[in-house]
Amino acid sequence: MRITILALLLLFLSCSEQPQSEVEEWEAQAENITIIRDDFGVPHIYGKTDADAVFGLLYAQCEDDFNRVEQNYIWATGRLAEVEGEDALYSDLRAKLFMTEEEAKANYEKSPEWLKELCNAFADGINYYLHTHPEVKPKLLTRFEPWMPMYFSEGSIGGDIERISTRKIKSFYESGMELPEMEALQLKKEEEMAEPQGSNGIAISGDLTESGNAMLLINPHTSFYFRGEVHVVSEEGLNAYGAVTWGQFFVYQGFNEKTGWMHTSTYTDVMDEFKETIVKNDGKLFYQYGEELRPVDSSKVTLKYKDGESIKEKTFPMYRTHHGPITHQVGDQWTASAMMWEPVKALEQSYIRTKQDDYDGFREMMDIRTNSSNNTVYADAEGNIAYFHGNFVPKRDTIFDYTQPVDGSNPTTDWQGLHTVDENILVLNPANGWIQNCNSTPFTSALEFSPKREDYPKYMSRDQENFRGIHAVKLLTGSRGYTLDSLIEMAHDPYLPAFEALIPGLVRAYDANPTPELEEAIEALRNWDYTTSKDSIAMTLAHYYGTLCYSKAERPEGMYSMQWVAYWGDEWDNQKKINFLKETLDRLETDFGTWKMPWGEVNRYQRLNGDIRQAFDDAKPSIPIGFASGRWGALAAYGARYDNNTKKIYGTRGNSFVAVVEFGDKVKAKTMLAGGQSGDPESPHFNDQAQRYADMEFKDAAYYKADVLKRAKVAYSPGEDH
């Protein structure tokens, strides 16, 4: 009997020394986390450690929109075709060309321990959500792994990789050809016609504010519902509020108590193409590099794709040189695409950014130099405002034109390391008291205190203005006494400078040869003040006329978008202007029965379901919107990338998450989301901000714990019912 008891005791002791099961570990970590949802459903996540906070953050994101969390990783890891079919194979191949799963795992393994802990918490938070919500059926990813964030490290989900053409990849890897010229021209036109991407960042010094504190406008223009609003706090110094792209474990655009950061898409040249000279020797591929032949890194990848109800496979070769993966062909030469690809450092920088408490720390963080696809507009509690134009900028020999593919066989075309942050375009505390960037030239970012074009290599930035930049400079010049509310008002100013360039020429064309049937429409445009509003008929006419110009008018070589508009408004043939106006009126008559359509009757907001590509239906309820496309210079951009065969225009991108922040003894902020926090149509927070969005009615951000508790609607730990 004693032997049996002893055996049982030994068995018990051995079992107690075994590690807890995965679920028990999740449950134990969840006890360290509290999620408080406020009156708009914004999650305020509190954890003991940063890893706890990340666990809770991903759990909360999955509660709000698991569909988008999963979709982002299906896309990023190169498995989109398994869900969407064969057409997505080349998106998947693009992902694999830049990083295979094995390489992602290797990057995770070489990460510093603190970053590994966050990556582990990322995976654990999502997997615990799936464990506690068996009713949620993933499209593909039933388990998330800690190496997955390596694909999603540079801030915005796509970053630079989205600029690599999948159509060119398909043409090369499917048929060994250059993209046919007509298809290349069509691709270029589609890009020019698409609703503009981009963002507005504005920093204002305390000299120009009513309170004497610095302020920051955080105004990204993304596809709607692309980011959720979050607040994430730990006892290890994390206290960041802002926008997080679904599936990220760091606040991408936002603020903490002392610093704020806003990213705008950059015109810095951070990607180059190298034409390789390929040689075949004994059945193996080599490429010329100076006097040597180097072996082409050749491998194969088998990708799965959905075909009806079955899954099929297709195997592709993959080729790389030291410049990067071979992504397409230029003429008869294989061409490699080079871009920043240091996922560990990029992920470190993205997270470290959120914990800086002064300019010196923020500036030191920028020395990591992996924030490649963005500029950064900055403000802080010490009163500093700053602008970093780009962050990852390769050094190049300026005798070569890197706007075109360069000769990869010539070693002097190679990147020669990176420019330091001090060598990059940088603005700090300009005497005019403000900084703006609206994806426009940095050389007008701060009036006469802007950087000077001649001080930098040409590849540092395209010196191209846009109508949003012109609009911002006009509003900021000479203004002072800013409050959070007046900054919101400025960010929604209705003036549209593009139409001041386009419409007077149309009116003059009519005056030169009056046509009676056009008189009423011309008078509406003649008397218009080039501002957008829900009630404006002239706004509707101008939008459809301008869109028709973009679609069909000639575009002189050597000009860019803003110059085309000026050309169509001034130098373009008068009869063509009149013909386009007639076509515009005919389109409106056909679609709506009259051309006299107030803009708000045409330009609508509608959210019917939680799909990533929204459904639209003219017969179902929608909200009138007075905003306009950023193409016309609207700071509060509102535009459409698709219409689902509707007559009316339904917004799909533009103002999405917006924040105005004031730094002082205590940080204050107001925010807004398009629609709402949740992607679930059954949630009260699916569309609870939609009318506020249309009315420019921001909500106060609850940053301090006492304010969060005052507005708390529910508090729980991950895994608990609520």
- 348-391 pLDDT per residue, tens: 999 999 999 999 999 999 999 999 989 999 999 999 999 999 99
Predicted confidence band of residue 9 (pLDDT cuts 50, 70, 90): very low
- For residue 174, what are its two tokens? 């499917």
- Read off the pTM: 0.94
With 80 as the cut, is the pLDDT of residue 15 above it? no
Predicted confidence band of residue 271 (pLDDT cuts 50, 70, 90): very high
- The whole-angstrom separation of Cα 686 and Cα 356 is 33
Identify residue 611 by its one-letter amino acid code: D
* pLDDT value of position 157: 56
* pLDDT value of position 462: 83
* pLDDT value of position 506: 98
With 50 as the cut, is the pLDDT of residue 288 above it? yes
Q: Please state the rounded mean pLDDT for residues 64-76.
A: 96
The residue that leads in pLDDT, 283 or 288, is 288
High-pLDDT (> 90) share of the chain, %: 87
Q: How would you class 463 by CB atoms within 10 Å of its CB: exposed for 0-12, middle for 13-18, buried for 19 or more?
A: middle
* Backbone phi and psi for residue 7, each to the nearest 5 degrees, phi listed first: -60, -45
* pLDDT value of position 192: 58
High-pLDDT (> 70) share of the chain, %: 94
* pLDDT value of position 11: 44
With 70 as the cut, is the pLDDT of residue 206 above it? yes
The tens digit of pLDDT for each residue in 486-506 reads 999 999 999 999 999 999 999
Predicted confidence band of residue 3 (pLDDT cuts 50, 70, 90): very low
> Which of the residue ranges 263-267, 304-308, 376-380, 436-440 would you say has the lowest mean pLDDT?
263-267
- For residue 470, what are its two tokens? 């012109």
Q: Side by side, which strands form the sheet with 603-605? A: 623-624, 603-605, 649-650
* Backbone phi and psi for residue 34, each to the nearest 5 degrees, phi listed first: -125, 130
* pLDDT value of position 189: 58
The tens digit of pLDDT for each residue in 617-649 reads 999 999 999 999 999 999 999 998 888 899 999
Pairing verdict, β 714-716 and 278-281: unpaired
Predicted confidence band of residue 17 (pLDDT cuts 50, 70, 90): very low
Instruction: List the beta strands (DSSP E) in 543-644.
Output: 603-605, 623-624, 638-639
Q: Please state the rounded mean pLDDT for residues 328-336.
A: 94
- The whole-angstrom separation of Cα 380 and Cα 261 is 9
The tens digit of pLDDT for each residue in 92-119 reads 999 999 999 999 999 999 999 999 999 9
**SS3 sequence, 249-301?**
CCCCEEECCCEEEEEEECCCCCCEEEEECEEEECCEEEEEECCEEEECEEEEE
The tens digit of pLDDT for each residue in 432-444 reads 999 999 999 999 9
